[in-house]
Structure 1
């Protein structure tokens, strides 16, 4: 069908209501299949996790998309279905004669699921796992000895029907528990600083324990996302998230498969000590790369050696310095330009500036190429060195802007890009009155500080929303037209760059637009404004 006809139908009749899974376009509703359960596992399914809290407790350890009915009973009834959404990616059909029993780690997990579903005796409202959990809780709260626990167990077993599933002793109860094996050596260490680490390997192994989450290939590739600097008024933390990349594109970036592995609490930035906090994760990744770990593939009913490789890390520019060791400050801060950088040190501001370093990215015939009046001053200064005294002094040396020079009274005039107290009060009142859909952004109404006259405590996502969505509206009536237009173009640039869909022609357009936007900003703001962060968009695309 022609594109114009489709657009006409969409404008006139709207989109199909409640159509979230594009099944007519080939998308598979994996989560829906999990909920129904029958297509994946066959036969009768145990009660849902919402009705059975102990089963839900076990599934919480495996992740929200582990699936229903993944107990040892359902495992024994599983047959490979050729219509499975991932079956086409398998190299060959599994040979029934090559089927294996799950390895001990996987089997313990299946035993837990079976205990959560298995009734204590026919007609009972409690499962075996429910009784075990409550008995252990009673033992702990009342400091009951092991002998006393065994006596209570024996009395309970005798009082119930003969075919009950009550475990015989505390020893059998401990065997049912699912926990990590730890070494026998115990040392009492005094921590310098606390961190939180969530092991990666067990979660990767559990990906293969259900048809709903088993990846198409066994050797995994992963990406690390380091979201550095998630800070605000009441907390400050630095999370590290690992994502498996051998899942289908529609699944790998979903929340269920973004494994939170490290949390470095604040309030101080870890900076160069980040390698200390990453040691447990690096140790696991090294093990997965060099030798691998044993895992059970339920789709083929085989044990295999699970291996993984780290593909890349996704971090912001300050974290790039912490992780790689490349300095993101100084003359060589840009990893693209390096020794060919056009940066220089401001004489009065005493900081490195990338002012007038973006016209070289423009088209050869662009009028900004020969416009030296609005960029650098025509003075040959061998040692080149935000709006303050040093910035105004540097502007005299590098820019032809006499309107910002010191007047006869010894004061500097107001710059066109600044706002006075009344204008800032208007902006703060506007921000305080904003209303957003639930979950779209945090409470921005708490961010304006009327005493300090600045925005405070904004999360990184809040800053993105303010720059990409609110900035064109906020400054429309508060700044001159040329300043507002340049800031709006910068806002739309980042909005398009972070959109969910990007085509090649979009990237080519953004690559051509960003030098012009930065050049417009150079005609407005002082040289001290242009550090390596403002220079990066030109080199990163």
Structure 2
């Protein structure tokens, strides 16, 4: 939205005396026009808003104190002409940003992730479940055994959730005439030839439309996707300090817009230092409440493109995450015997005693019933595949299985869970009235899966220590399974074991050629990071595959292995 604010896209709203314009929109647009004024007459590089945003950004990046920031503002005001409109204090800058709607709510949380101190717990000082203090422990003066006055006057919460309200941000999408027009692309601008180019072409989208015709009747109604993942905010590999942002994607927009940074909306910033795990539902409560309200009652907003007020409604179609976060959001455990959420209770798994890990098989069930690979034994696990592909669980199936199960949240809370039960909770998303009938509720982020497969493939080809999947333990598992006799380990005496080379084993010279080709690759600008930095010729090692996944998977490996 900062990009929209810099292009004066709101002028058409104020220039026309539109009687339908609501007070909130009028106030916002006047603030925008005021913010667009030059810092001083004749300044072409900065507006009042852009210089404030730039200064606040630098302040946050380098940890400036409020006092030092005020001193800088005073210096700049002395440097600029007398009629400049630069604010004089940090508080003035905050008020301008807040009035424009770029603000968030701070919600105190239990340090053990049991509850949020809101609604019925708003005035509590301790968690009613684990009895932990809402605030950090006070410093005590040893001489008088009294709490220091400064500390007592400003209690510091133990954990704070930052929530960015959804409705004001959606309203601002429609306050821009250009963005308001783009919000109907999925219905008016999309090519409808049956090919899958956009979520609107999917069966899940079409099923949702057929079940909720009133919602689908207005293409301006907003359809969202939710994504979440943990990251280290301090960029320190050795530090396990994890922060979990929750981001919303707007699927009304075209494919080349909906995943661009200006249209990705940060909704929640879940505090660190560790992952909330299944207790992520506690932090999702404010967002779910707002989504329910936006679905049931909607909200009145102004469409700058059609120049009229309308009642907008919002729906959440699905979530997107990696495998661990899938378990946190859905409640289905992605580890153990039933780790596959697609195969669910029909997951084919086997514990490998030597490798000490679970192995998941039965992939041939998804092939056509007459596919020749179903009868192949030697190339797979020594058996024929006669089974059929399992059916994914519907929302109704899940609710029937879970029944009236009560969730127990908190990192130190004991959960009564039966052996073999893959469910850790009843997901909070089922509080949404339409979630039960959504065709695809949770989706896996393909990038993470591709990265892992590519990393394992390269690690096995180059026999990189710690990354190769072909080792003595794997060969002993083949012996136990009674397959691949030609590569079973052989005892050659003196407590030594010989591992016969497999078909995919490449020589040291071939490894050198493989790494040499990767190191010398030239790609277009912005296509990917410099792969030559990730390749170590002497060690035959490759690191940092996450940023090189497209290059490695789609182009190089296919060509090089064929050659």
Q: TM-score w.r.t. structure 2 length? A: 0.52
Partner of 2:23: 103
Deviation at 1:313, TM superposition (A): 1.4
Aligned residue among 218, 221, 234 for 1:219 = 221
Q: Alpha carbons of 1:218 and 1:242: their partners in 2 closer, same or farther (altered >3 Å)?
A: same
Q: TM-score w.r.t. structure 1 length? A: 0.54
Q: In the alignment, is residue 466 of structure 1 matched against residue 552 of structure 2? A: yes
Q: In the alignment, is residue 75 of structure 1 matched against residue 13 of structure 2? A: yes
Partner of 2:342: 336
- Report the secondary structure of 1:221's partner residue: strand
Aligned residues: 368
Deviation at 1:242, TM superposition (A): 1.6
Contact 1:112 1:178 in 2 (8 A): no
Q: What are the within-5 Å matches in structure 2 for residues 233-382 of structure 1?
A: 240-247=246-253, 251-262=257-268, 271-272=277-278, 274-275=280-281, 278=284, 281-282=287-288, 284-289=290-295, 291-299=297-305, 301-303=307-309, 306-355=312-361, 357-377=362-382
Partners of 2:346 and 2:528 lie apart in 1 by 41
Q: Alpha carbons of 1:437 and 1:335: their partners in 2 closer, same or farther (altered >3 Å)?
A: same
Contact 2:14 2:30 in 1 (8 A): no
Contact 1:66 1:207 in 2 (8 A): no
Contact 2:248 2:267 in 1 (8 A): yes
Per-residue deviation, residues 236-255 of structure 1 (Å, max 9, x unmatched): 87654322233466754555
- Report the secondary structure of 2:490's partner residue: coil
Q: Alpha carbons of 1:443 and 1:263: their partners in 2 closer, same or farther (altered >3 Å)?
A: farther
Q: In the alignment, is residue 402 of structure 1 matched against residue 485 of structure 2? A: yes
Contact 2:323 2:334 in 1 (8 A): yes
- Report the secondary structure of 1:354's partner residue: strand
Deviation at 1:219, TM superposition (A): 3.0
Q: Alpha carbons of 1:113 and 1:370: their partners in 2 closer, same or farther (altered >3 Å)?
A: closer
Larger radius of gyration: 1
Q: Alpha carbons of 1:133 and 1:206: their partners in 2 closer, same or farther (altered >3 Å)?
A: same
Deviation at 1:440, TM superposition (A): 0.8
Gaps of 5+ in 2: 56-65, 107-122, 124-152, 185-218, 385-468
Q: Alpha carbons of 1:143 and 1:212: their partners in 2 closer, same or farther (altered >3 Å)?
A: closer
Partner of 1:22: none
Partners of 1:229 and 1:474 lie apart in 2 by 34
- Report the secondary structure of 1:246's partner residue: coil
Greater strand content? 2
Superposed CA RMSD in Å reads: 5.0
Contact 1:392 1:405 in 2 (8 A): yes
Partner of 1:189: 156
Deviation at 1:387, TM superposition (A): 2.1
Contact 2:226 2:320 in 1 (8 A): yes
Deviation at 1:458, TM superposition (A): 2.5
- Report the secondary structure of 2:226's partner residue: strand
Gaps of 5+ in 1: 1-61, 80-95, 380-385, 478-541
Q: Alpha carbons of 1:347 and 1:117: their partners in 2 closer, same or farther (altered >3 Å)?
A: closer
